[in-house]
């Protein structure tokens, strides 16, 4: 059944056509097999409801009740996954003032725009690693799941967990009379017992995953961008508590010592990893820890650091030093055999530009098909949902995207997704 919804946008009327989940056969000129790293030519993918029910060689005719989708001149692949986004915000020159002039409702309504941009860019599943305003992303996830809002499938961390004065302390940069003393409820811990309280609070609030900021960061209003900010005992407690609730744990980290402590504690992924050493890489391989590089964000902040006044004075030198380094670190980690999952840190740069990451990864030495693998089956394994998503396989959910042409020859095509299906529903065609 087809539905059309009528909208008025800035005084101009337009139609947005949404197609409910039903039966389709898709004729794909090329299909990327991300499990076996090969391209299959002229394939027919049969969709019933929200699942893939058959994949056949050649272009089979549509059966009764099936709608034919002709992508015979396009390349089809699984829905893309970004393991590091921040849908509650998008950085700009005035971002540091937003928390004083915007309510959680303001943040929430604006986030629906960012969610839609992300989905239309081909990212049907994302891991959101930290709210700028409490509760926004969990609420956004619920609204998308209920069909109120158009957006990707979200695995939300809610409030990132920090230590006092750390990268995700929400009162950094405030005047002393406003700083207060945020605690585990607000995502700030000091000691192992606080760690348990913070994890349980995230569970209570509806988080799907856990995010820690184990070193200093670039955009926080604090001096260091790389110092370790959790003790080993605190990290051990966080991971122990998180595993009780079956949380996947991600850690923001630029400095090597903070990374090392986090990997030893048993976290699932290291984000950014700017000053990752050979020792840390070896340890990550031993422990099976994933690396989520976020090269796009690094390049963005490096470029903006050259613009006087774009970042506050305390942020500018961190952005200039850390941003350009990430792609170099990624190149080394890939050569060492560290497991790589795709992630961009969208929100540091405009949402919807997530596809740039493919080109940057390819530039640094990862073959084009492996970059796509990192954003599909590898990301699904990190989230422990590879039995449902991540590859075009019979029985899995019908998340599919396509581009016009061959992305393995031209990675910039990953920035212009032409077809998006999420959960059996066509979102873009």
pLDDT tens digits, one per residue of 34-82? 999 999 999 999 999 999 999 999 999 988 889 999 999 999 999 999 9
d(C-alpha 158, C-alpha 204), whole Å: 11
Q: What is the pLDDT of residue 351?
A: 98
Phi and psi (nearest 5°) for 407?
Answer: -70, -20
Q: What is the pLDDT of residue 21?
A: 64
What is the SS3 assignment for 139-193? HHHHHHHCCCCCCCEEEECCCCEEECCCCCCCCCCCCHHHHCCCCHHHCEECCHH
DSSP 228: B
List, edge to edge, every strand of the sheet that includes 425-428: 51-57, 38-48, 23-33, 67-78, 400-404, 419-422, 425-428
Task: Count CB-CB contacts under 10 A for residue 109.
Answer: 14
- Residue 33 near residue 40 (C-beta atoms within 8 A): yes
- Is residue 17's pLDDT more than 60? no
Average pLDDT for residues 361-377, to the nearest whole number?
Answer: 98
- Residue 296 near residue 354 (C-beta atoms within 8 A): yes
Which of 268, 321, 272 is closest to 296 using CA atoms?
272
Torsion sign across C-alpha atoms 405, 388, 352, 421: positive
- Residue 91 near residue 347 (C-beta atoms within 8 A): yes
- Residue 224 near residue 238 (C-beta atoms within 8 A): no
Domains along the sequence of the chain with CATH: 2-78+399-428 (2.30.40.10), 80-383 (3.20.20.140)
Q: What is the pLDDT of residue 329?
A: 98
In 214-278, which ranges are E strands?
248-253, 269-272
Q: What is the mean pLDDT of the chain?
A: 93
pLDDT interval class at 332 (50, 70, 90) = very high
d(C-alpha 414, C-alpha 120), whole Å: 12
What predicted TM-score, i.e. pTM, was given to this entire model? 0.93
């Amino acid at each position: 059944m087809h539905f059309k919804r009528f909208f008025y946008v800035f005084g101009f009327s337009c139609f947005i056509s949404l197609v409910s989940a039903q039966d389709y056969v898709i004729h794909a000129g090329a299909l990327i097999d991300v499990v076996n790293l090969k391209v299959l030519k002229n394939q027919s993918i049969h969709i019933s409801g929200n699942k893939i029910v058959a994949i056949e060689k050649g272009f089979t005719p549509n059966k009764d009740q099936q709608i034919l989708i002709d992508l015979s001149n396009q390349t089809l692949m699984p829905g893309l996954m970004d393991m590091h986004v921040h849908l509650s915000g998008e950085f700009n020159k005035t971002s540091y003032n937003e928390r004083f002039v915007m309510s959680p409702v303001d943040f929430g309504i604006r986030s629906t725009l960012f969610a839609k941009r992300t989905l239309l860019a081909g990212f049907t599943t994302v891991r959101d690693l930290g709210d700028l305003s409490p509760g926004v992303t969990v609420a956004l996830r619920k609204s998308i799941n209920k069909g109120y809002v158009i957006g990707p499938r979200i695995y939300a961390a809610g409030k990132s967990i920090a230590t006092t004065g750390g990268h995700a302390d929400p009162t950094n940069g405030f005047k002393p009379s406003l700083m207060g003393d945020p605690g585990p409820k607000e995502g700030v811990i000091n000691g192992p017992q606080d760690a348990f309280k913070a994890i349980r609070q995230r569970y209570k609030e509806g988080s799907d995953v856990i995010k820690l900021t184990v070193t200093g960061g670039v955009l926080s209003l604090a001096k260091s961008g790389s110092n370790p900010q959790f003790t080993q005992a605190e990290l051990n407690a966080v991971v122990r508590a998180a595993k009780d609730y079956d949380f996947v744990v991600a850690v923001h980290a630029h400095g090597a010592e903070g990374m090392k402590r986090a990997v030893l504690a048993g976290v699932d992924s290291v984000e950014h990893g700017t000053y990752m050493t050979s020792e840390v890489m070896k340890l990550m391989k031993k422990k099976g820890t994933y690396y989520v590089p976020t090269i796009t964000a690094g390049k963005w902040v490096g470029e903006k650091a050259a613009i006087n006044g774009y970042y506050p004075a305390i942020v500018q030198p961190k952005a200039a030093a850390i941003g350009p380094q990430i792609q170099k670190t990624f190149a080394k980690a890939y050569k060492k055999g560290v497991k790589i999952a795709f992630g961009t840190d969208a929100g540091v740069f405009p949402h919807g530009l997530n596809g740039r990451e493919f080109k940057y990864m390819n530039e640094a030495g990862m073959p084009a098909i492996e970059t796509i693998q990192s954003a599909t089956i590898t990301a699904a394994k990190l989230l422990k949902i590879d039995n449902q998503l991540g590859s075009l396989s019979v029985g899995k959910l019908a998340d599919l995207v396509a581009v016009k042409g061959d992305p393995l020859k031209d990675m910039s095509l990953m920035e212009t997704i032409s077809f998006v299906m999420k959960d059996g529903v066509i979102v873009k065609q």
